[in-house]
Structures are given as structure tokens and as C-alpha cells.
């Protein structure tokens, strides 16, 4: 698949077409369309879970379980005389 076809596949995908729709629209081979999308949409620098690191992932799990930090609940310090 040439670069022009890859660009077309990506543009159609960004417009909301799925792989089968792109194949029907362009006449390209399904495996070529799938490979072009996989190659284009993969980001080797970004982890699959989209977290920067394990600490961020752990914090997110705790937050979702209702065990966030004081700041998550609107407390920013200030005990006593202020």
C-alpha cells in the first residue's frame, strides 16, 4: 500500500468509518486497511493504558475506589488558626 492510500485510509477513519466501511469505499484489501490503521494509530512511546507511570495508575485506581487524596475532596490544608 502506498502513502497516498495510507493517507486516504486514515482520513476516512477520522471521519468515522470503520475498517469494513473503508474497504467497501476504497476497494482496498481488508488486511492492508487493517495494517495501515494499526501502523498509523500505534504510538510506541505511549503505554497502552495511557498512564504516564505506575504511580499515576495506582492513584487513579485509589481515586475510583473512593480513597483519593484530601485535595480530591476539596481540602487544601489549613488546620487551626488561619
pLDDT digits (tens, 9 = 90+) for 2-29: 889 989 999 999 999 999 999 999 999 9
Is the pTM higher than 0.75?
no
Domain boundaries, the chain: 1-68
Tens digits of per-residue pLDDT, 34-54? Answer: 998 888 776 556 556 666 677
pLDDT of residue 22: 92
pLDDT of residue 61: 79
- The string of DSSP codes covering 12-78 is HHHTT--HHHHHHHH---HHHHHHHHHHHH--TTS-TT--SSHHHHHHHHHHHTT---GGGGT----
Amino acid at each position: 500500500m502506498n502513502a497516498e492510500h495510507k493517507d486516504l485510509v486514515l482520513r476516512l477513519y477520522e471521519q468515522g468509518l470503520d475498517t469494513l466501511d473503508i474497504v467497501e469505499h476504497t476497494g482496498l484489501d481488508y488486511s492492508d486497511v487493517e495494517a495501515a490503521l494499526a501502523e498509523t494509530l500505534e504510538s510506541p512511546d505511549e503505554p497502552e493504558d495511557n498512564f504516564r507511570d505506575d504511580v499515576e495508575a495506582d492513584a487513579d485506581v485509589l481515586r475510583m475506589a473512593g480513597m483519593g487524596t484530601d485535595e480530591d475532596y476539596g481540602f487544601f490544608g489549613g488546620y487551626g488558626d488561619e
